[in-house]
Amino acid sequence: MCEIGGSRRRRVRSVTAAVLLSTTLIAEFVALPEPAVAQIAGGMPIEIEDVPWQVALRIRSAGGFSLCGGAVIAPEWVLTAAHCLPREPSAKDIQVIAGTSDYLAGGRWVAVRDVVVHEAYEPASNEADLALLRLAVPIDSTPIAIPEEAVELPTGAPLMVSGWGATAEGGAKSRQLMGAIVPYVDNRLCNEPQSYAGQVRPSMLCAGEVFGGADACQGDSGGPLVQGFRDRPVLVGIVSFGVGCGRKYKYGVYVRVGFYRDWIAARLRER
């Protein structure tokens, strides 16, 4: 999750890279310094079998390496947040690991072939904060369904957010996959003065407790927010931005995936 006002403008760029990553790259990842990110706060350990669509992204930029999340929506495609990527995204700088609860052990490392950032992405407002990654080879992770555009969530509906990292704001990251249940918050409430004061657009959604608690944070960016995670799971959100982790009135803000259903479908057809 990015902090409000902390991201930069980025442009669409389609690029190509190699296929599978070597064990040398895995060793390089293990040796990375701690990235300046936090992740699920107030959550609990879960297994990849609970959220088999979850992947971790290792992203190289001018400032070093960072960790983000993503969701498998087709055997060759991952949906993530645009703000996770450098200003000029290159497929060779992004690596994906799937099929593991511990992103430093097990799983399968796969290279990225193409990067497609939404052309309307606006860092200042966090509008259209989504990007598609086409993998160099298909993976056998279970894809998660995309909702219909008109889907309505009832206030308080339980949603699952997941990712790797700190269990408290400012804490160290966790190797173990973490998950938390967060209730859906109507945009009207999320836009009240003590919360986001009108910054939440119709293309976004909010989730979290009014007095704080379980939440996503920076390193969860791009990760999945899922409805019906135990029965007919649907990807309703992508971790986008917020203020701190689990703070009073400061809900997590997510890309409303259904709003972009047609864009996602069109990009997949084009390639």
Name the residues annotated as catalytic.
83, 129, 221
Six token digits for residue 163: 């990712």
How far is the first Cα of the chain from the last one, in angstroms, to the nearest whole number? 28
State how far the Cα of 163 lies from the Cα of 101, in Å rounded to an integer: 9
Region label for 64, one of left (φ > 0), alpha (ψ between -120 and 50) or beta (otherwise): left
Asked if 164 and 56 touch (Cβ cutoff 8 Å), the reply is yes
By DSSP bridging, strand 108-117 and strand 2-3 are unpaired
State how far the Cα of 156 lies from the Cα of 209, in Å rounded to an integer: 9
State how far the Cα of 192 lies from the Cα of 269, in Å rounded to an integer: 39
Q: One-letter amino acid identity for 245?
A: C
Partners of residue 59 on adjacent β-strands: 66, 94
State how far the Cα of 83 lies from the Cα of 240, in Å rounded to an integer: 8
Six token digits for residue 246: 């689990």
Q: Tokens 């939404």 identify what position?
A: 118
Six token digits for residue 241: 């931005």
